[in-house]
Structure 1
């Protein structure tokens, strides 16, 4: 974790140097300018020291050095880094406070108290310099090496792979389909050399499946030669080649010492020569990267004799070495299989290996906690097999489950296997993954939310012009998924991940790790009930009755609230100590007013007030110059003060007022009024649900970085200004336009379609009852929603040739009687919703239309009396929702028209 802490320090130093605040203070400090200059010089020296320190630590490899002196030295590095972070954040706080008092800088900056604070920072930076220097002396004095092996991990680490813990055939439960398929691929399959990959998180049994097939007699007899090669995270290609040769060649041909002396070129040639005319089977077990694959690929000659290479891996990028048809992605065991496996291990001494009735409840809870991970099921079942069948003893084990997992020596190997994926992450990704453990158990972590939190914390590196922090953070997410540390639980229509989960056992291990390295603590959820001054991040999962008062929280950087029951009084009292806060999430908090102390949090980057009852944002919020995100979704805030223009670092502004949300009501969502000066905030990328004004729309084009924009209450006289601004927004990806009322008319004839637009929402009457041709030409659109459009022509024709369209929602959008879906139309459409189209009585669907449609809603189609016969052509349809449909339609759907929809897996009739 030292590398992760140092990374954060470097990010913060870079962000703190230079800028508007420093220039302002320098110009007005007069004779005290040398003091500020000294501070800045020391900051730059600190940056240099930690840059070298980071490079040094990164060479230590990912495994413990088994050198206690080195471990102790690294602990001291962490302490210095934490203290440096505190000084930098205090420095940033003073700069922010100065900026907030811009017009009063003389009165504010020169008083003795604040001069004293600058002097203190200067002194503390000098002290940190001295400590770093002392650490260098200590390292040299005691001869502390970079690592035991110069940064290369022990190739014998593979004993942490899951195979060694699955000993008997009883341990392999589930995955029969995968095992059968793998056996078939080895014994039959194509003559060309085939790469087969088995991918999944640690502990799923990848190695177990491969090993069980590899050891089978018929497999051994089917190949001329075979080799099983375990691989370490930082493996050496030459070492892999030598180990293969040693398994293939007899000692009569070469002694082990002779093989050790062969250089890389000859190793490759000898392998190619040996394998050239043989049908071979090679298993590369627990492969972590593709670094050496090009060399291995050449050495393992493709001889068209039916050879096979099996790769087990936790990394999806490695797994992609195989073609899709030769790639197995393992999942956790279904509950029934997990229960069977657990009982085999825990009750193997009992007749029929059944769970005693008195233990059923606690055994069930323990299996649930394992969440289908075979390694954990086997290990914990084996451990419990030595306990008495006493209910209290099993209850005690479950109640202390997290402690057992991280402290019981008999379960160390489970923690080691699950830890391996985390240990090989670079420092910045370790910070990002640890942050995921702050969310509640089984919580679906939304992509945009976690990305913005990482950015606010300073975990995301700047890569220069041409790539945004959000794009870098999304790469981080993809890498965590590729490494099987996060599971994707929801994707949007174009396959992009929208929501993620972390396995419960991995989360528990990370929570304990977070506490040890002072990264964060969780309140509630059986983890901690007492807050201390060392905590840098706090996640509150339970009410204040479980929480001791926060006595000293000046080191706190993030406060995430997930419990709706925490009282407003507790929240108000808590904020008195949140001096250096960067992230504040009060989502669903029971508050009607923003606590006064919030506007003094000059380091605040992220403020989330979603789903609170806050109605007024004070003018003093303009003091928070570092704020990047202000989320007011579903609050009562109808207007923002003019001081919002002071938030020059703002990247995301979400607003909306919702009362009794019903998407079938025209004005169920209200926009928020903003001053036109909001358009001066050049960093804005998201601006949701703002209320239109002519001046605001005239200036929108200044927001050239905008990706996401939703404008409410648009009048017909604003059409030209609106379209003119869109021409200046080349990065716009999501656009929503909602008219002032249902009688207003939207005329988009001046619209020059944004080149990257993927999502378009239009709410209101279309000029002339038709869709303008410029909308129909937006070929990148994936999601289109029209409401109250009063179209006179069938809108399906307008969208039919949009090759990328995946979602089409039409609510009161059409006043005709017939809709037609022709053959070949909507090749990528997955979701169709037709809502309150009052005159629609007939839908024609030809064979070959919407060939991958999965979900359809029919709601409030009053004239639709029969189920369209064309539904039988939609063979991919999985779900259909029917709501407020005529009684005759429902009767026929259950009777004579059932033949058209009987292939649909789930049909929901809603009242």
Structure 2
């Protein structure tokens, strides 16, 4: 974790030294700026030291836990890095505080002892850190902590032994594959009856899912062995050496064939590649590359493993989706967690081997089920815990006690080390910048669905995301980070959007337990849900409050806290005011779902704040003083009572995300169920803005929106016909815009969208309002990338479906009170990628025609309030991929007929009674 802390410090130094505010303040202070300039020089020197330190740490791969000198040295590195982090954030705080006072009083302010003393203190602390870094370098050399030729800390041979032992444990921990019968059958089929070309097959999934076990069981089958001339099984692991891999393949092949040169130990890489390629070129071979962590080794292995039409097979097992993508098309297996029944059966087999039928005693079922649920379908955990419990007496209290200390058992019981090590390996293998990001996921409650955008903004606010240049945003870099973490199977995807991009994630319970343990040890973060945790808050740098009523009113060590996130909804404004009173260096503050009606005064003094979430509160007013927070990047006011933002909001020059909406009655079938906030046109001066929604349209605003050239998402309400032309002119200049919501002023307000330029880059479009002439405007022909279209209250007189037929990328289509006609038709070949269809409140619609080969992959449909629809749509049986249909406010005759249709027997129907 030391390198992870160093990454953050370096990022913050670069950001601090690059600020225009530094030069502006220095120029106004004149001679009084000497301390500030000295602090700047000290930071530049520290930046150099930490840069070299980072380079050293990056060369350290899997290190020995028995190297006590190295462990102790790393601990000291972390302490210095944390202290440097505190000083740099203190420096940022003083800059922010000075910058809010105004130039007229700045010189007087400087002369005040508390400010002058503050800058001098920063300078002295930076000097001390520079000295400590120098001593750490001397200490490293004094105790011989060096890097070997292979880029590892000396004395790491025990690591390889540990990895090999772990491999063996994983291989032999199960006697048979449970829960993957279909995958096993498919794999056997591909090995025996597949195509003649050399084929690469991947088996991917998180650590402990049983990838190695599944492939091993297939590999050992006689029918498989007999189908190939030769075979080899190679454990690649994290710290592989390409020469070792090639030699090991040759050695295993030597056991079956005698015509391979014997002196492989003295052969260089190029010769090994050629020797192996020559030998395999006329063979039907099977090579298993187990536990592959990166694609690097594949470049040479691809040349060594000859491509021929002999029916050869290469199987990769990996935790990384990027590695799995090496497989040939349609030849990858993505293992998933076991289902509840499979998990229970596997657990009973291991926990009760001596009981007839291997069944759980009635008295233990309650606690056994809780233990199995905790494993969340992870086979390795189920097997290891079940095997451990097979030696325990069948007493209810003993099993109850084991369940309540399960987290501790996994972290400390040697018999469960295989589970801990399997999950630990994935975390430890993360690069330094990703370690911080992944550990941050540990602040969320158990089973919490983590939203992509929210998580990336939190990372950026904390300084975890590196700047890579002027042409890529921090959000785009953060998006790459999140994708890589998910590809490594450390987060599971819960939901994807219309473009297939993962939007919400979850962390496996056991992975979360390990992360929380690491966070506590590293002083990275702390979850507070009981009074005993408060004592440890003195050292935690991030605090997540799950139960506010069980901790004290104040938190010790608040001056070190960077993130404070509340998940308890029963928190009063007074509690927040007291608890956050000394959070001087806070960067992230989330008060979502709290009962506050007024912003606590302390918030406007948090000059380092980047992220402020006030959503789902009763907040009524955004005070002008909030605009002193010049570093604020994200302000979330979704579902509050804020109906107007102060003009001073334009002073938040680093604001990137502004979200506002007032919910009156959360029902999408009501036209005015929510409203936007009024904003001053000066908001269009915020050049870094990427997401702005929802704001109320006015003449000046729609003219100046074109200045927000980085805008990706725009939501605008109360749009009048007189606004549309200028609004569209501004929008066409926003080249990055991909999501657009336009909501008209009122139901009867007519929006004329004819003769406007198309938006070829638009991916999501929500249009709510009556359209001119009752027809779809021609600009829809220019929406080539549209994947999600939502329309409402359009009052169309002609069937809109033909106007959308060219939208070949459309994945979701929502039509609410759009069409006033009777017949709607879906023709053959239309909507090849449509997966979800929503049709609601079109009361005249009585007939829907569905031709063959239309919407071929549609899997979800909602029909709501189609009062004239009395019969099942003609051709409904053509929707062969349909899996779920939701019916609400539909006529009784229709609902009865749907249930009786043979073509709907395979479809899950969800029925709701007709609204009175």
**Fold shared by both chains (TM-score > 0.5):** yes
CA distance in 1, matches of 2:261, 2:816: 75
CA distance in 2, matches of 1:692, 1:319: 48
1:720·1:750 contact (CA, 8 Å) conserved in 2?
no
CA RMSD of aligned residues (A): 2.0
CA shift for structure 1 position 904: 2.6
Aligned to 1:366: 371
Matches within 5 A, 1:467-506: 467-506=472-511
Aligned to 1:34: 34
| 3-state SS, counterpart of residue 94 of structure 1 | helix
Aligned to 1:672: 677
Aligned to 1:10: 10
1:158·1:230 contact (CA, 8 Å) conserved in 2?
no
2:537·2:543 contact (CA, 8 Å) conserved in 1?
no
Matches within 5 A, 1:138-149: 138-146=139-147
CA distance in 2, matches of 1:55, 1:319: 29
CA shift for structure 1 position 227: 1.2
CA shift for structure 1 position 770: 1.8
Aligned to 1:240: 245
CA shift for structure 1 position 59: 0.6
CA distance in 2, matches of 1:655, 1:68: 53
Matches within 5 A, 1:239-388: 239-249=244-254, 258-388=263-393
Which of 745, 758, 762 is the aligned partner of 1:757? 762
Which of 643, 647, 651 is the aligned partner of 1:646? 651
CA shift for structure 1 position 544: 1.9
Which of 205, 212, 219 is the aligned partner of 1:214? 219
CA distance in 2, matches of 1:776, 1:130: 66
Aligned to 1:133: 134
Residues 550-604 of structure 1, C-alpha deviations (whole Å, 9 max, x = no match): 1331100001111212333322210101110001111111211111100100000
CA shift for structure 1 position 707: 0.6
Residues 15-53 of structure 1, C-alpha deviations (whole Å, 9 max, x = no match): 111423212321222322221110100111111111111
Deviates most, 304-313 or 748-757? 748-757
Residues 183-228 of structure 1, C-alpha deviations (whole Å, 9 max, x = no match): 2222332222221111111111111111112222232233222211
2:677·2:696 contact (CA, 8 Å) conserved in 1?
yes
Residues 299-345 of structure 1, C-alpha deviations (whole Å, 9 max, x = no match): 11123222221111111111111123221111111122222222222
CA distance in 1, matches of 2:83, 2:854: 63
Distance 1:654 1:491, change over 3 A: same
CA distance in 1, matches of 2:755, 2:729: 7
Distance 1:165 1:834, change over 3 A: closer
Aligned to 2:116: 115
| 3-state SS, counterpart of residue 437 of structure 1 | helix
| 3-state SS, counterpart of residue 278 of structure 2 | helix
| 3-state SS, counterpart of residue 513 of structure 2 | helix
Matches within 5 A, 1:594-605: 594-605=599-610
Aligned to 1:908: 911
| 3-state SS, counterpart of residue 29 of structure 1 | helix
Distance 1:902 1:359, change over 3 A: closer
Aligned to 1:96: 96
Which of 695, 715, 720 is the aligned partner of 2:700? 695
Distance 1:546 1:393, change over 3 A: farther
Which of 657, 660, 678 is the aligned partner of 2:662? 657
Which of 812, 836, 857 is the aligned partner of 1:807? 812
CA shift for structure 1 position 679: 0.2
Aligned to 1:396: 401
CA shift for structure 1 position 66: 3.4
Which of 446, 458, 464 is the aligned partner of 1:453? 458
Aligned to 1:24: 24
Gaps spanning 5+ residues in structure 1: where? none
2:824·2:849 contact (CA, 8 Å) conserved in 1?
yes
Aligned to 2:885: 880
1:224·1:280 contact (CA, 8 Å) conserved in 2?
yes
2:525·2:540 contact (CA, 8 Å) conserved in 1?
yes
Matches within 5 A, 1:408-427: 408-427=413-432
CA distance in 1, matches of 2:791, 2:798: 14
CA distance in 2, matches of 1:548, 1:839: 59
CA shift for structure 1 position 694: 0.7
CA distance in 2, matches of 1:418, 1:247: 29
CA shift for structure 1 position 887: 3.0
| 3-state SS, counterpart of residue 577 of structure 1 | coil
Aligned to 1:406: 411
Residues 51-110 of structure 1, C-alpha deviations (whole Å, 9 max, x = no match): 111001101113336321111111100000000000000000011111121253233233
Residues 641-671 of structure 1, C-alpha deviations (whole Å, 9 max, x = no match): 1110110000000000002211111111101
Aligned residues: 909
1:881·1:910 contact (CA, 8 Å) conserved in 2?
no
Which of 451, 456, 463 is the aligned partner of 2:468? 463
CA distance in 2, matches of 1:726, 1:574: 43
CA distance in 2, matches of 1:256, 1:126: 62
Aligned to 1:85: 85
| 3-state SS, counterpart of residue 74 of structure 1 | helix
2:573·2:598 contact (CA, 8 Å) conserved in 1?
no
Does residue 180 of structure 2 align to residue 179 of structure 1?
no
1:171·1:378 contact (CA, 8 Å) conserved in 2?
no
Deviates most, 677-686 or 315-324? 315-324
2:770·2:795 contact (CA, 8 Å) conserved in 1?
yes
CA distance in 1, matches of 2:260, 2:736: 64
CA shift for structure 1 position 885: 1.6
Matches within 5 A, 1:746-785: 746-749=751-754, 751-785=756-790
Matches within 5 A, 1:469-868: 469-524=474-529, 528=533, 530-546=535-551, 549-749=554-754, 751-868=756-873
CA distance in 2, matches of 1:173, 1:427: 36
TM-score (normalised: structure 2): 0.96
CA shift for structure 1 position 127: 0.1
CA distance in 2, matches of 1:331, 1:397: 27
CA distance in 1, matches of 2:83, 2:563: 17
CA distance in 2, matches of 1:246, 1:875: 52
Distance 1:825 1:219, change over 3 A: closer
CA distance in 2, matches of 1:554, 1:302: 62
Residues 364-407 of structure 1, C-alpha deviations (whole Å, 9 max, x = no match): 11111111111111111122222222222211111111111111
CA shift for structure 1 position 149: 5.3
Distance 1:840 1:398, change over 3 A: same
CA distance in 2, matches of 1:108, 1:746: 55
CA distance in 1, matches of 2:85, 2:451: 28
TM-score (normalised: structure 1): 0.97
Residues 457-509 of structure 1, C-alpha deviations (whole Å, 9 max, x = no match): 11111110221111111111111111111111111122111111111101100
CA distance in 2, matches of 1:902, 1:202: 38
Aligned to 1:223: 228
CA distance in 2, matches of 1:321, 1:237: 18
| 3-state SS, counterpart of residue 725 of structure 1 | helix
| 3-state SS, counterpart of residue 494 of structure 2 | strand
| 3-state SS, counterpart of residue 663 of structure 1 | coil
CA shift for structure 1 position 800: 1.1
CA distance in 2, matches of 1:527, 1:449: 30
Deviates most, 168-177 or 832-841? 168-177
CA distance in 1, matches of 2:383, 2:95: 55
Gaps spanning 5+ residues in structure 2: where? none
CA distance in 2, matches of 1:718, 1:46: 54
1:729·1:754 contact (CA, 8 Å) conserved in 2?
no
